[in-house]
Structure 1
Amino acid sequence: MSATHTRDMLKQLRRTSKFYCPQCKEELQLRIGELVIPHFSHRKDSNCQQLFSEGESKEHLVGKRQLYSFFESKRITVQLEPYLKELSQRPDLLVTAQNEQYAIEFQCSNIPLKDVQARTKGYMNAGIHPLWLLKTPNLEKQKTARIQLIQLSPFRQQFITSHPQHGSTLLTYNPITSMFMYYSHLLFVQGYRFIAKVQQLPIAHQHFPFLHLKEPTKEEFQQYWQLHLQIRQRFLRQRLFLSRKGVQDTLLKRCYSIRISLEQLPLYIGLPVRYAQDIDVYIVEWQACLLFFLRDCNLSTSQVDDEIISTFMKKYPDYFQGDRGRTAIIHYISLLKKLRIHSIQSTEDESKIFHLLHREFLAKCYEN
């Protein structure tokens, strides 16, 4: 069906014509409702193995139609739900631009990761660029701040893309508001939490290939830093007052051994680092343990090598699974050397830490 067909034209066409599935050759029904966009459907007793546009949500159907119209308005060649026989796959949209093909999947619900990987691999093997576009989460209250603490489920995290110039981004689309939502320049915190630059873009202002947001300004990175400090301070306070182990808590005992309170740990303990998500505890926890470990071994940060890192990781098997986390440790040691931090009792300079992290952030040193 063409985007130029009106509902009246389609109703007339339905009275005078018959329609057949290009795969199973069964007769199709042309449904023309007032809410959902017109579409074809098989009969309930169909045996077709390539059913499409059936059982889909209203948001999915409307979103595909809006995206289809968007590409048409840009005079970009686009097909709606074409069946790719050689792949046995049917993307929501197949776009051809600048002699390149793009399979766009507008994903409104969670599906098994293995299905995502299989579809992605199929497109790539055929020389087609896969673009997964998630539906923007329905939140009761959208925050207005541009720099926000957000939560991304493991499913959504699989669709974060990394660009050498523009950093990490999760792009979503909301068919109700006709808005793209950018969660860009993601900085991992812990678990499902990230600090991100969040911005909406009306579909009328979008381009293709999809736009990238400008990197955060120094003032915006200051907001990253303040959110980071708030999260860090909240962790330390909760650990101090809510630890189930009480005085037997290892971290509390080690702080007491050098006569500082948990809340007085220097700011270079808890630095955001690359691949921090590979370690199963919050950055303050394992970074403090690493510096205490070096203190016990009478080692400075400048003496750390692969063997010492391996010994440390074996000492804390609950934190590290196999070799996961090694890159995060290496990045952390690199930051400490740049800051000229030699041990857990080195002095700190918050301004120096902030400027180093800002440079690392702009250099995309936190990208996976």
Structure 2
Amino acid sequence: MTANNELFILSASHTREKLKQLRRTHQFFCPQCKEELQLRIGEIVVPHFAHKKDSNCPQLFSDGESKEHLIGKQQLYCFFENKGLTVQLEPFIKNLSQRPDLLVTTKNEQYAIEFQCSNIPIEVVQARTKGYLNASIVPIWLLKTPNFKQQKPTRIQLVQISPFRQQFITRHPQHGSTLLTYNPTTAKFIYFSHLLFIHGYRFIAKVQQLPIAHQYFPFLHLKEPTKEEFTHYWRFHLHIRQRFLRQRFYLSRKGVQDLLLKGCYGARMRLDQLPLFIGLPVRNAQYIDVYIAEWQATLLFFLQDCQISILQVDDEVIAIFILNNPDYFQDERGKDAILHYILLLKKLGVRSIHSSTKEAIILQLLHSEFLAKCYEN
């Protein structure tokens, strides 16, 4: 706030020379504690306000923020302002005791924009989100784009999304799963959309950049992958699957104690030559602790040993399988992954591990399932 009790917003439109002049002629005060602030204008760090040393402000903000966070907030503030929307930078919402990076007001909604550049406890994220929702404010968490070693030219990519970032994946009934990030260095939104879970931190995603000048609000959703693009999904999947099977075959240290290899031996099959319907991506696969090809092969070996056809699988059979493989299942939602897998096998006409199905038929089914948003996770 200025001495005239007017709100002053630092933005990229202010040159350093202009800010130095303002610093000589104006005083600035914290909107919360009313203490006088320092306007810091260095040659490296982004110009910003800071409390003086040993400040007693109960709601310190902007102090100690990274360069990316400061620049990103300024760019996003200008973005909303240019859209003709009412936007406030770091307003203190008294009844929530929360201060979003930006508060955007439209005709029908209020949005709290949190531009998150560092990891924070997920409990903090959940508490802030709950506070906004209780106040009828829509929370939007926008992560800083992770730093990749090199930019890949293809849209369909294998990406790693940390457990922290996975918490911010949004799910839309028509547009699937998306992680939206923002890169203040390039002033571009980066979409990781139509996420297909593989294992651990790995996903196959459609990755696209959108300059901030071309963005809309509410933020755009990307078009679903074309049939050609989905073929790239399938090729990535096959590459990962084959590498897993080969490494397990040649590098397993358990020998005959390896249940996967033991099952292959009993079925008189080579591990790296399992049929393509073993290892199919299915929804909720993230709730099973081993790679999809391993638990699906183990399931079919189990059915073969018990002389149970795919058509005979019911809740009781699945419960026994889960009971026999407790290390695989740490979450009851893993059962849904098995049910979905059995459904896919039935649609493919698979009756046992020795059935045969053409790759083109598998790809066609997976594409239709994918477009039906069956792989939301």
Please say whether Structure 1 and Structure 2 have the same fold, judged by a TM-score greater than 0.5: yes
The residue number in structure 2 matching 1:242 is 251
Percent identity reads 73
Q: Which amino acid aligns with 1:77?
A: T
AA aligned to 1:218 is K
- Unmatched tracts of structure 1, length 5 or more: none
Q: What amino acid maps onto 1:31 in structure 2?
A: R
Q: Report what 1:162 is aligned to.
A: 171
Instruction: Tell me how far apart the structure 2 counterparts of residues 364 and 270 of structure 1 sit (CA, whole Å).
Output: 19
Q: Choose which of 41, 48, 51 in structure 2 pairs with 1:42.
A: 51
1:301-354: CA deviations, max 9, x gaps? 111111111111010000012524111011111111111111111121211111
| One-letter amino acid of the counterpart of residue 204, structure 2 | I
Q: Which amino acid in 1 is paired with 2:350? A: I
Comparing 91-100 with 269-278, which one deviates more in the overlay? 91-100
Q: Does 2:262 match 1:256?
A: no
Give yes or no for the alignment of 1:84 onto 2:93. Answer: yes
Residue deviations 1:202-226 (CA, integer Å, cap 9, x gap): 1111111111111100000000001
Match of 1:188 among 194, 197, 207: 197
Tell me which amino acid in the other structure corresponds to 1:238. Q
| Conserved 8 A contact 1:295-1:343 | yes
* C-alpha separation in 2, matches of 1:316 and 1:12: 71
SS of alignment partner, residue 200 of structure 1 = strand
Q: Is the 8 A contact 1:36 1:62 kept in 2?
A: no
Which deviates the most, 4-13 or 163-172? 4-13
Deviation for aligned residue 1:6: 5.0
Select the residue among 152, 177, 180 that pairs with 1:143.
152
Structure 2 partner of 1:355: 364
**Greater CA deviation, 97-106 or 230-239?**
97-106
Is the aligned partner of 1:228 residue 2:212?
no
Distance 1:336 1:176, change over 3 A: same
**Aligned: 1:69 with 2:96:** no
Counterparts of residues 97-116 of structure 1 (less than 5 Å): 97-116=106-125
Aligned partner of 2:218: which letter?
P
Whole-angstrom CA distance in 2 between matches of 1:267 and 1:95 = 49
Residue 35 of structure 1, CA deviation: 4.0
- Encode CA deviations 1:90-110: one digit per residue, 9 max, x unaligned: 111111123211111111111
Distance 2:151 2:324 in 1: 44
Which runs of structure 2 are paired with 1:19-58 in the superposition (5 Å)? Answer: 19-58=28-67
Alignment partner of 1:153 out of 162, 166, 183: 162
Letter in 2 for 1:143: K
Question: Residues of 1 paired with 2:286 and 2:163: CA distance?
Answer: 11
Secondary structure of the 2:154 match is coil
Report the counterpart of residue 351 of structure 2 in structure 1: 342
Give the 3 Å change call, closer, same or farther, for CA 184–322 of structure 1 in structure 2. closer
Partner of 1:209: 218
Which one of the candidate residues 322, 339, 361 is aligned to 1:313?
322
Offset from partner CA, 1:256-299 (integer Å, 9 cap, x none): 22221111211111000000000000001110111111112221
Separation in structure 2 between the aligned mates of residue 142 and residue 295 of structure 1, nearest angstrom: 46
1:279 match: 288
1:110 to 1:233, Cα distance in 2 relative to 1, 3 A: same
Contact 1:36 1:61 in 2 (8 A): no
| Cα pair 1:313 1:320 within 8 Å, conserved | yes
Query: Secondary structure of the residue that 2:346 maps to in structure 1?
Result: helix
Q: Identify which range, 133-142 or 353-362, moves more after superposition.
A: 133-142
Structure 2 runs not aligned, ≥5 long: 1-7
Bigger shift: residues 22-31 or 130-139: 22-31
Query: Greater CA deviation, 179-188 or 296-305?
Result: 296-305
Secondary structure in structure 1 of the residue aligned to 2:64: coil
Q: Number of matched residues? A: 368
Does residue 129 (structure 1) correspond to residue 138 (structure 2)? The answer is yes
Shift of 1:31: 2.3
Distance 2:147 2:233 in 1: 24
Counterpart residue number, 2:5: none
Change (3 A) 1:175 1:322: closer
